[in-house]
Amino acid sequence: MPEAHAATPTNPASFDNAIKQYRPHLIEDVGQALSGVRTLQARVAAKDLQGAKAAWISARAGWERSEVFTGAFVPDFDEKIDAWPNATTGFHAIEARLFGANQTDAEDVTNAIVERLSALDAKVRDITLTPQGLLNGLAQLTYEVGEDKADGGESRISGTSLDDMRNNVAGIENAYNIVFASAIGSADPGLASTTSVEISKLKALLDVKSLNDVNTKALRQATEELVVTLQDVAPKIGLARPVLGPSP
């Protein structure tokens, strides 16, 4: 009975290979964040404002792509690296100095973030990555992308909130494709194609000139629909319904 066979939940253990393939991408994203802040450290020391700004943006891209992982597995790192709103620590404190005040006096806070990201860089190499945690991270981050940005969003001082969202979705797409797409494709091709369509929809909604042009209502709806789909997907691949927060 092929139908019954198709409906059999995938054993979570069968994600081992997928996760093995995913880890290098995660290492690369965190690596980009780390090398970005190291460059930033050098540019800040050289009082090179333009170079420092470019390095900050590059570091952010890697960081935002890795948020599927950080939000679900290392929320304490997330908190220290990406504090909001706080004028003293993390990316946004540096952003305020570079993009707000147009000053490079951000040595201490940059040194601190280099230290944190170095620790994270070491951690991603051997931390246990569970499929459930990654599914939780996907759902959490997707939901967050739909949050209101009418106030300019989190990276409003540099005007890069839209980039944050795009990098988030790139991270979502990458994690989904590498870790889950094939398992869902075998378990329920219909749901697999729904998920892919919904991810593409997110990308399309963010493919606009500036944050002002994002259709916020459609984006919120699309992110919530994707999370609802992920809730439906979970039991088909032997996982629990994704949790939208740090595991209790």
Partner 1 sequence: MPARSLSLAAVGLAMVLVFQRAFAFPVDGRQTTLPVGTELNEDAIDRPREVFRSEATGGRKSYLVDLGDMAFNASDILGGAARQAGISCGSCHVNGASNPKLFIPGMSSKPGTFDTSGPLFNPNANDFVRDAVRIPSLRGARYMAPYGNNGRTASLRDFIRNVIVVEFSGPEPSTAILDALVAYIQDIDFLPNPSLGPGGKLNTQSSVAERRGEALFNKPFPHDPTLSCATCHVPSGGFVDHMVHDVDTGGLFKTPTLLNADFNAPYFHDGRFDNYGQVVSHFDREFDLGLSDRDKSDLVAYLTAVGDGVQATEREGAAASLREISDFASVLAAAIPAHDNEAISLAVDTIGAELRDVTEHIPDLRDTTVSGGEKERNLARMALKEVVLILRRLGIDAAAGKYDDAASDYMTYNRFMTAAVPTIVLKAEAWSLFNPPIHDAHYAALHQLLSSINQSHP
Contacting residues toward partner 1, per CB under 8 A: 75-76, 78-79, 82-87, 89, 92-93, 96-97, 100-103, 143, 147-153, 156-159, 161-162, 210-212, 215-217, 220-221, 224-225, 227-228, 231, 243-246, 248
Smallest gap from residue 196 Cβ to partner 1 (A): 17
- CB of 162 or CB of 178, closer to partner 1: 162
SS3 86: coil
Smallest gap from residue 54 Cβ to partner 1 (A): 16
- CB of 31 or CB of 246, closer to partner 1: 246
Those residues with Cβ within 8 angstroms of residue 20's Cβ, 6 or more apart along the chain or in another chain = none
- CB of 96 or CB of 124, closer to partner 1: 96
d(CA 215, CA 222): 10
- CB of 50 or CB of 86, closer to partner 1: 86
Smallest gap from residue 99 Cβ to partner 1 (A): 8
- Residue pair 12/239 in contact (Cβ under 8 Å)? The answer is yes
Q: How many residues does the chain have?
A: 248
- CB of 18 or CB of 169, closer to partner 1: 169
Smallest gap from residue 218 Cβ to partner 1 (A): 10
Signed CA dihedral, 47, 48, 50, 54: sign only: negative
Buried b (16+ CB within 10 A) or exposed e, 126-147: eeebbbbbbbbbbbbbbbbbbe
d(CA 123, CA 34): 13
Q: Which of 95, 68, 72 is nearest to 82 (CA)?
A: 95
Smallest gap from residue 125 Cβ to partner 1 (A): 24
